[in-house]
Structure 1
Amino acid sequence: MSHDGVGPRAVKRSVVFLTAGALAVPLLAGCGSDDEATSPAAPQDIALVARDKVADGGTLKWAVDAVPETLNAFQADADAGTARVAQAVLPSMFRLDANGRPVANPAYLESAKVIETEPRQVVQYKLNQQAVWSDGREIGAADFLAQWRALSGKNSAYWTARNAGYDRIEKIERGANDLQVQVTFSKPYADWKSLFSPLYPKDVMGTPDAFNDGARRKLQVTAGPFKVAKVDTAKKDVVLTRNARWWGRPAKLNEIVLHAVPRDQRAVALADGSVDLADVDSVEAQRIGLAGREKGTGTPLQGSGKTSVKKLRSWALAHGFDSDEVKAGRKKLRKSIAEYLEEQQALAGFEVRKSLEPAYTQLALNGSTGPLLDDRVRRAVARALNRDELAKLVLTPLGLPAVPVGSHLALSGQPAYADNSDAIGGQDAKEAQALLADAGWVPGGPVTEPKKAEKAAGPEKKKQKGEESDGGEDGEYIVGEDDKGHDDGPDGKGKHHESAEGTHEHGEESGRRLAQEGKHGGAPGAYAPKGTAAPAAAPAAPLAKDGKPLLLRFVLPSGPGSESLNTVAGRISAMLERLGIRTEISRVPDESYFKDHIAAGDFDLALYSWPASAFPATDARPIYAKPVAAADGSVNVEQNYTRVGTDQVNQLFDEAVATLDEDEERSLIRKADSRIWATAGSIPLYQRPQLVGARKTLVNAGAFGFQTPVYEDMGYLKKGAKVSPAPSAS
């Protein structure tokens, strides 16, 4: 899970992931037909050209959030940088195509198929006869065997993040010759294509010491178009160079340098040549776009310092300068503007490539405590949301298709995708009010106001040291509250909304990402358009029950780049307020957001993102399965941070992962998704935008969408060659 990015599939999807009563509704089938075909909501945008148009040589400097802590993708602290290295230097039996489907990788496989189903499932891999490790040894059964033993979960000396799928293997054997590997499963496993991607050499997987420590900072033996030359923590670089023993199509680039750059410094890094390719937020994307159109006109630096400070400050404010720069004296402000204009001139050599990430942002509802323990209240919250409006809020200003995500388990373009949101229903204020009334929440009821200390603590616990908020004597805003100067007024817009929007212009520029598993850096979920105003609507009378108001604690991160997410949260809060549901916005430090709040269950509402998977039966089960009580009285929620689940959902996942009929598996996944919608533990909102600043001459790289990058084809356009126009995203 991540606020903003997608980590490697091999890493456990947690930061970077109670038992609820079964709903009294019948088992729901997927709303789409089993043969329904979809296409990605937006195509990839990578300046795709044929290899003969790509020049030989050159270095690609590619921004990452941090130098990876480990190069072993199966360890808990692996991150997106780890995945990028693994894709470039290690074998993957399967990789994803543009529709997010696993396809055999011909560089390593001649074929892979199920050759027996009774009495056991047996998969036969026929390896490419040229495939060798960089030390000259053939890739073979010994490597498969070592990886299975390391990841099977049977030896606790291996510090692995996951063993899904590998724990179903019974044995691995050499086939009829050295190029054949036969994998026998103890029980059927539908997602067998997820295994051995990446595949590490037996040198790494052969012993616990080698697995735990040997591949953290170096990979001496590899088998891809590139190899790891060095990890330079001082320069914040991972340097990949051509692999001389690579048997496939030769890499066009001499080297790829993965360079760590904070999210809020990406535009500057592009401008000064530190990187050639970088994920950027919407403000920096806008800046790059403007640089390509600016011709040096409109500069406030005219004459010899005669421009008034007032005009300089006005220009600086219009171009997103931070408050300290704007308040500086004439000399410092002129210097800052001159540096900005110089950067803009350099940014004219770049463009923004955009698509949709293989990830979606959701509203999570904690169903383990408080009002949301009642599924009627959760469903009322879901029925209050206008998901079309939220998708448009984020995606339309970026020129991307604003279509709400209709599935928890797949995205448009993937075989398992179907819009199953009808299982909960669309926005319907009357139905939401009826659900709330049935749960005992009525408008205008007597309310016993909590003491100030209790109020500041929120629904579950007092505010922790270091938590941030947007105001009020208690450090938090309550939407719909009319005391302490938080008057919502006749237009329904109080200080909460002003804060969520007023800080957006400058805050969004500073970056956007927190980590999947708390490690992948930045701010969660959303990219909201600059200056978006909350909708004007008269709030309903607050709802109350047993003398207590219906108040939900909305926990959000407070770090750089989070203002865009806060704007989306403000819009959601306004939608809930129309029903009389008050929300208490609590902003907390980025570093504690997942560990101390989401994973700990210290929230009512929250926004974060999940990556899509080509193998939802395996990867999504820990996220949506019913939590299990342990012998010591604790509850194992795995990655189900909403704490909402049912036995039916568990059963459908179990059936899906055990069938070898792809049509049946797809049907079961869709049924499971309908059940997940009906529980209203999480509400998918929109697919995340993918914005990438790229040097204009760089080709076969950019916003990849679902597809695994083809590293050997990346490079710089030959002189005189042209890139065909990218297909429309609409």
Structure 2
Amino acid sequence: MRRPIRHGVTTAAVAALALLLAGCGGGADGPAQTGQSLSTTPSFNQQPYDNVKDGGQVTLPMRAEITPQFNTFQGDGTTDTRLAWDWYNPIMVTYTPTGDPQFNPDYIVEAKEAETGGNTTITYTLNPKAVFNDGTPIDWRAFESTWKANNGSNTAFIANSTDGYDRITSVARGTDDRQAVVTFKGGYAAWPGLFNQVLHPKAATPDAYNKGYLNSPHPEWGAGPYALTNFDKQNATLTFERNPKWWGKKGKLDKVTLVAMEQQAKVNAFRNGQLDATEAETADFLAQARTAPGADIRISGRPSSYLMTFNSTAPALRELPVRKALMQAVDRSQLTQIAFQGMNYTEDPLGSLVNKPYQEGYEDNVAASIGGFDPEAAKQGLDAAGWTPGPDGIRAKNGQRLAVSYVQTGDSPTKRATSGALVAMMKNVGADLQVRQVPSAQFATVLANKEFDLLISGFFSYDPYGVAGICQLYCSDSQLNLSGTGTPQLDTELRAIADLPTLPEQNTAGNAAEKKALATYGLLPIYSGPEVWATKPGLANFGADIFGKPLPETVGWQNGS
């Protein structure tokens, strides 16, 4: 998944795209921090490779679960899919914290851009040593396989995103097998956001792509400094050890363990030394994490977007006026205050899912299309749509009560407060919101089966090219748009944005299209938020890094710690 990846809401700052506070050793004292102030202040104890100890191990948490889908390209993948994938699969391209692309020389020796006849061509020269763990070369065929599985031409591949790959007209062999020549239809300014990961050619069939990775990580199809040596589904644990087939700088750690557990359990495990780091996404969890000896609090901005999805296929939400009214009933400012209460962090409600408030091109498209919190307008809209209040204040139409279900994934005081606030907001306009709590481990299943009417979740952007993923967000056939809203005409407009030659032009068109998409009343942006980690002292190259993501081989324990 090259762009947004959906997550389940976890706590105050929610989860799956990630959120909370930053600044190495930072805290809750002093002036309030904002997404703007934290947007250029990563906090992950960045250390040179040679200043990290050789040996040792770390135990780190997953966001919510060991997802059943281990293919990061597939539509049912989550942030935990990506988290696991990156420890044992090729990472071709990374980004600095502020979003500048960096090509990993262990895989890509050179990426050269050219223009021929108005078409962008990228020539990738690949490291001759690069092979998958089963001995298959990582060559132009891996690029071809990745493109064919994700370009949307074969709908049997259930892709997380086709954005960008659908702009490619060919992937061909260059001067030899270790050179891939990628040609786009017209210009494509966001090309560094593609081929950040590559798919093993053996996984490039619909059956292997969609089902082959289900509860089956396929370590032999991976590559990198670490190899997956144990998948313990019962105990929700993944174990990685140094890969003897790796040709680059060896991983600094002897072993890496990923464990899935609920957030309170993570904080408890961190405090008693079982985990080397934990998210600290609410004031309560942050306060608890601080009690661990030597806890290092790492806070920064995060390119995440939390939103509420309105399932237009749910009986009570099929009518557009109803969805519009219920959106007007949501006080996003209150939800934001609940999310960040006690965190010494503040932000305005999020106005776009395309760009973040600190990125060039950002506009408040929610204000322009949906408007603000307006319960009186919501009541008037429901009256006009024929929904009449009953004796208990709950509206009904043709014998059907205006009842909607809200899925709360996991449990925490913040989540309960969010659910309670939403119940009150909906009751105020005559809707009966029924809260259904499910364990965080069921989040992927809830999404895959659309087992919700309303749901708060999030996206995390792994690259800075937000507008390049606009179709993934809003197209009616996108695996990420679970609202069921959109039209073929709007899909055409969204896809045409990539035809524009520059990012500024694409941002202008993207904002216009997003206003139309939001006016279908399926997705309601709420907030972005910071990312907050508590780590043991000396953990290097790990934490709150905005767009950055240190290579796995650099993670470890700082010399002298």
Q: TM-score, normalization: structure 2?
A: 0.77
Separation in 2, partners of 1:371, 1:398: 36
Give the structure 2 partner of residue 425 of structure 1: 371
Give the structure 2 partner of residue 241 of structure 1: 241
Aligned-pair distance for 1:125? 1.6
Comparing 656-665 with 219-228, which one deviates more in the overlay?
219-228
Give the structure 1 partner of residue 3 of structure 2: none
Q: 1:694 aligns with which of 535, 538, 543?
A: 535
Query: Helix, strand or coil: the match of 1:664?
Result: helix
Q: 2:460 aligns with which of 611, 632, 638?
A: 611
Separation in 1, partners of 2:50, 2:458: 39
Give the structure 1 partner of residue 123 of structure 2: 124
Aligned-pair distance for 1:113? 4.6
Comparing 419-428 with 592-601, which one deviates more in the overlay?
592-601
The unaligned stretches of length 5 or more in structure 1 are 9-36, 292-346, 450-480, 482-541, 627-635, 722-730
Percent of matched pairs sharing the same residue: 24
Query: Helix, strand or coil: the match of 1:676?
Result: helix
Decide whether aligned partners of structure 1 residues 613 and 82 sit closer, same or farther in structure 2, where only a CA change above 3 A counts. closer
The unaligned stretches of length 5 or more in structure 2 are 1-5, 10-14, 19-34
Give the structure 2 partner of residue 145 of structure 1: 144
Decide whether aligned partners of structure 1 residues 577 and 85 sit closer, same or farther in structure 2, where only a CA change above 3 A counts. closer
Q: Is residue 555 of structure 1 aligned with residue 501 of structure 2?
A: no
Aligned-pair distance for 1:595? 5.8
Does structure 2 conserve the Cα–Cα contact (< 8 Å) formed by 1:652 and 1:669?
no
Aligned-pair distance for 1:426? 2.6
Give the structure 1 partner of residue 252 of structure 2: 252
Give the structure 1 partner of residue 175 of structure 2: 176
Give the structure 1 partner of residue 27 of structure 2: none
Does structure 1 conserve the Cα–Cα contact (< 8 Å) formed by 2:160 and 2:480?
no
Give the structure 1 partner of residue 343 of structure 2: 398
Does structure 2 conserve the Cα–Cα contact (< 8 Å) formed by 1:637 and 1:643?
no
Aligned-pair distance for 1:59? 0.9
Give the structure 2 partner of residue 629 of structure 1: none
**What's the CA shift string for 1:591-620, capped at 9, x where partnerless?**
8778679955763x4433333464555644
Give the structure 2 partner of residue 83 of structure 1: 82
AA at the equivalent of 2:219: L
**What's the CA shift string for 1:160-207, capped at 9, x where partnerless?**
666555455443222235543102346766654343221244465589
Separation in 2, partners of 1:100, 1:148: 23
Q: 1:565 aligns with which of 415, 426, 429?
A: 415
Separation in 1, partners of 2:179, 2:325: 56
Aligned-pair distance for 1:666? 2.0
AA at the equivalent of 1:93: M
Decide whether aligned partners of structure 1 residues 213 and 647 sit closer, same or farther in structure 2, where only a CA change above 3 A counts. closer
AA at the equivalent of 1:611: F
Separation in 2, partners of 1:546, 1:220: 57
Give the structure 1 partner of residue 424 of structure 2: 574
Separation in 2, partners of 1:269, 1:596: 27
**Equivalent runs, 1:198-209 vs 2, <5 Å:** 198-202=197-201, 205=204
Give the structure 2 partner of residue 3 of structure 1: 8
Does structure 1 conserve the Cα–Cα contact (< 8 Å) formed by 2:186 and 2:499?
yes
Q: 1:48 aligns with which of 46, 49, 67?
A: 46
AA at the equivalent of 2:497: A
Comparing 216-225 with 710-719, which one deviates more in the overlay?
216-225
Does structure 1 conserve the Cα–Cα contact (< 8 Å) formed by 2:298 and 2:532?
yes
Separation in 2, partners of 1:206, 1:555: 37
Query: Helix, strand or coil: the match of 2:285?
Result: helix
Cα RMSD for the two superposed structures:
4.2
Give the structure 1 partner of residue 196 of structure 2: 197
**Equivalent runs, 1:352-363 vs 2, <5 Å:** 352-363=297-308
Query: Helix, strand or coil: the match of 1:267?
Result: helix
Separation in 2, partners of 1:260, 1:440: 47
Q: TM-score, normalization: structure 1?
A: 0.61
Separation in 2, partners of 1:608, 1:547: 32
Aligned-pair distance for 1:60? 1.3
Separation in 1, partners of 2:452, 2:236: 35
AA at the equivalent of 1:288: A
Greater CA radius of gyration, 1 or 2?
1
AA at the equivalent of 1:555: Y
Give the structure 2 partner of residue 668 of structure 1: 509
Separation in 1, partners of 2:254, 2:443: 40
Aligned-pair distance for 1:407? 0.5
AA at the equivalent of 1:360: S
Separation in 2, partners of 1:247, 1:401: 46
Aligned length: 529
Aligned-pair distance for 1:232? 4.7
Decide whether aligned partners of structure 1 residues 374 and 98 sit closer, same or farther in structure 2, where only a CA change above 3 A counts. same
Separation in 1, partners of 2:70, 2:289: 32
**Equivalent runs, 1:76-475 vs 2, <5 Å:** 78-99=77-98, 102-118=101-117, 121-128=120-127, 131=130, 139-151=138-150, 165-166=164-165, 168-185=167-184, 191-202=190-201, 205=204, 213=212, 216-220=216-220, 222-233=222-233, 236-243=236-243, 246=246, 248-280=248-280, 282=282, 283-289=284-290, 291=291, 347-367=292-312, 373=318, 375-423=320-368, 424-428=370-374, 431-432=377-378, 435=381, 439=385
Aligned-pair distance for 1:122? 2.9
AA at the equivalent of 1:116: E
AA at the equivalent of 1:585: Q
**What's the CA shift string for 1:109-151, capped at 9, x where partnerless?**
3443542353754322233566555678763223323444455
**What's the CA shift string for 1:415-454, capped at 9, x where partnerless?**
553322321333345655555565566xxx7x566xxxxx
Separation in 2, partners of 1:678, 1:652: 15
Decide whether aligned partners of structure 1 residues 231 and 124 sit closer, same or farther in structure 2, where only a CA change above 3 A counts. same
Comparing 173-182 with 151-160, which one deviates more in the overlay?
151-160
Separation in 1, partners of 2:466, 2:335: 25
Give the structure 2 partner of residue 531 of structure 1: none
Separation in 1, partners of 2:437, 2:131: 49
AA at the equivalent of 1:388: S
Does structure 2 conserve the Cα–Cα contact (< 8 Å) formed by 1:40 and 1:414?
no
Aligned-pair distance for 1:674? 2.0
Does structure 1 conserve the Cα–Cα contact (< 8 Å) formed by 2:471 and 2:478?
no
Give the structure 2 partner of residue 57 of structure 1: 55
Does structure 2 conserve the Cα–Cα contact (< 8 Å) formed by 1:69 and 1:217?
no
Query: Helix, strand or coil: the match of 1:397?
Result: coil
Does structure 2 conserve the Cα–Cα contact (< 8 Å) formed by 1:48 and 1:699?
yes
Decide whether aligned partners of structure 1 residues 111 and 663 sit closer, same or farther in structure 2, where only a CA change above 3 A counts. farther
Separation in 1, partners of 2:246, 2:93: 18
Separation in 2, partners of 1:185, 1:249: 33
Give the structure 1 partner of residue 490 of structure 2: 649
Q: 2:520 aligns with which of 679, 689, 692?
A: 679
Query: Helix, strand or coil: the match of 2:7?
Result: coil
**What's the CA shift string for 1:686-716, capped at 9, x where partnerless?**
2255343311221221233332233222221
Query: Helix, strand or coil: the match of 2:545?
Result: coil
AA at the equivalent of 1:2: H
**What's the CA shift string for 1:517-538, capped at 9, x where partnerless?**
xxxxxxxxxxxxxxxxxxxxxx
Aligned-pair distance for 1:75? 4.3
AA at the equivalent of 1:95: T
Query: Helix, strand or coil: the match of 1:665?
Result: helix
Aligned-pair distance for 1:63? 2.0
Query: Helix, strand or coil: the match of 2:373?
Result: coil
**Equivalent runs, 1:468-617 vs 2, <5 Å:** 481=392, 542=393, 551-557=402-408, 560-561=410-411, 564-578=414-428, 580-587=429-436, 589-590=438-439, 600=450, 603=453, 605-612=454-461, 614=463, 616=466
Query: Helix, strand or coil: the match of 1:553?
Result: strand
Give the structure 1 partner of residue 29 of structure 2: none
Query: Helix, strand or coil: the match of 1:705?
Result: coil
Separation in 2, partners of 1:550, 1:384: 17
Higher strand share: 2
